[in-house]
């Protein structure tokens, strides 16, 4: 049997950080389960965050108007992407599980990790208009976010000062991971470890260790089925009228992003649905 493979994309400056400890727990546990684990330590690699002309080797298709998406798609097809991008794309292709480990910065990922997403997940390699969401290129792979927050869990409740964590996660989990086809596992959130006593941080890591043992058996998060939409430019990629009519009777919106003017479905971006839950 082929060896199971995992990639951890790690974005923290310090090897003594809680994020580094969470990374090390993941490497240890996955290795014990028979995985071959690669780690992309973005700061140690001095990974370049900016998406620029330097990402393309050779001539541009349209030098008078540089369009990054078009040029990198063509360069990917022709094997002309820069070496640092192709090395990361090779890791993505080999991995059946990808974990993004990072501290939450300004309600998002650190710039260096955003740069990894911008540069590595190029059009053609990671997505196309024909291959996106449920029909995406990476639909046979699993991915998840594992991150620390500065604020406490209560601050990220719907009635907390920072607002609903599900809303914060929607662009990353739906707009990046699910868009590329990944089966998105529920995030691992370490709430405010900097403001916790040592025993609480130890308990967090112990909980992560336990979760990792059964990670691949977890059900992924649910997102809006592509079948509910008119996937044509003429139809505007909008919800089909019959789907909208059927959803009218539901007490909640379809997803965090497709709220349809209704209350958001609880924990839509933080917990996989139960077996008897609403589909």
Written as one string, the DSSP assignment of 196-234 is S-HHHHHHHHHHHHHHHHTGGGSPPPP---GGGB--STT
Of 188, 167, 55, which Cα lies nearest the Cα of 122?
55
Q: What percent of the chain stands above pLDDT 90?
A: 89
Residue 1, pLDDT score = 59
Q: Is 89 helix (H, G, I), strand (E, B) or coil?
A: helix
Domain ranges in the chain with CATH number 3.40.50.360: 4-221
Mean pLDDT of the chain: 94
Find the mean pLDDT for residues 37-65. Answer: 96
Residue 276, pLDDT score = 46
Find the mean pLDDT for residues 97-122. Answer: 98
Considering only 27-31, 198-202, 228-232, which range has the smallest mean pLDDT?
228-232
Find the mean pLDDT for residues 80-101. Answer: 97
Query: Is pLDDT at 84 greater than 80 in this prediction?
Result: yes
pLDDT band at 277 (very low <50, low <70, confident <90, very high): very low
Q: What percent of the chain stands above pLDDT 70?
A: 98
Highest CATH level, class, for 4-221: alpha beta
Query: Is pLDDT at 275 greater than 70 in this prediction?
Result: no
Question: The pTM is what?
Answer: 0.94
Q: In this structure, are residues 263 and 253 in contact, taking their beta carbons and an 8 Å threshold? A: yes
Find the mean pLDDT for residues 267-276. Answer: 81
Q: Is 262 helix (H, G, I), strand (E, B) or coil?
A: coil
Structure tokens at 221: 């998060």
Half-sphere exposure of 144 (CA within 13 A, CB side): 26
Q: In this structure, are residues 269 and 165 in contact, taking their beta carbons and an 8 Å threshold? A: yes
Query: Is pLDDT at 101 greater than 70 in this prediction?
Result: yes
Find the mean pLDDT for residues 98-123. Answer: 98
Q: Residue 14 carries which DSSP code?
A: -
pLDDT band at 273 (very low <50, low <70, confident <90, very high): confident
> 């662009």: which residue's tokens?
171
Query: Is pLDDT at 2 greater than 80 in this prediction?
Result: no
Of 118, 104, 122, 97, which Cα lies nearest the Cα of 39?
97
Q: In this structure, are residues 61 and 74 in contact, taking their beta carbons and an 8 Å threshold? A: yes
Residue 170 CB partners (closer than 8 Å, separation 6+): 255, 256, 257, 269
Cα(95)–Cα(89) distance, integer angstroms: 10
Tens-place pLDDT, residues 127-161: 998 899 999 999 999 999 999 999 999 999 999 99
């Amino acid at each position: 049997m082929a060896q199971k493979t995992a990639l951890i994309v790690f974005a923290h400056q310090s090897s003594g950080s809680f994020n580094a400890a969470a990374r090390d727990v993941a490497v240890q546990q996955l290795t014990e389960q028979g995985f071959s684990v690669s780690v992309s330590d973005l700061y140690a690699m001095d990974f370049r965050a900016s998406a620029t002309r330097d990402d393309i080797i050779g001539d541009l298709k349209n030098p008078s108007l540089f369009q990054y998406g078009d040029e990198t798609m063509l360069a990917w097809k022709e094997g002309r992407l820069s070496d640092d991008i192709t090395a990361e794309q090779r890791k993505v292709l080999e991995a059946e599980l990808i974990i993004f480990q990072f501290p939450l910065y300004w309600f998002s990922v650190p710039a260096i990790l955003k740069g990894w997403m911008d540069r590595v997940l190029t059009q053609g390699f990671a997505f196309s208009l024909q291959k996106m969401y449920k029909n995406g290129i990476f639909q046979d792979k699993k991915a998840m976010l594992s991150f620390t927050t500065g604020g406490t869990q209560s601050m990220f409740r719907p009635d907390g000062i920072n607002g609903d964590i599900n809303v914060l996660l929607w662009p990353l989990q739906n707009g990046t991971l699910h868009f590329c086809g990944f089966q998105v596992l529920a995030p691992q959130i370490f709430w405010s470890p900097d403001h916790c006593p040592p025993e609480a941080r130890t308990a967090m890591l112990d909980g992560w260790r336990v979760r990792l043992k059964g990670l691949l058996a977890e059900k992924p998060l649910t997102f809006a089925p592509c079948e509910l939409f008119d996937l044509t430019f003429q139809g505007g990629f909008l919800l089909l009228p019959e789907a909208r009519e059927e959803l009218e009777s539901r007490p909640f919106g379809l997803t965090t992003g497709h709220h349809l003017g209704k209350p958001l479905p609880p924990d839509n971006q933080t917990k996989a649905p139960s077996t008897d839950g609403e589909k």
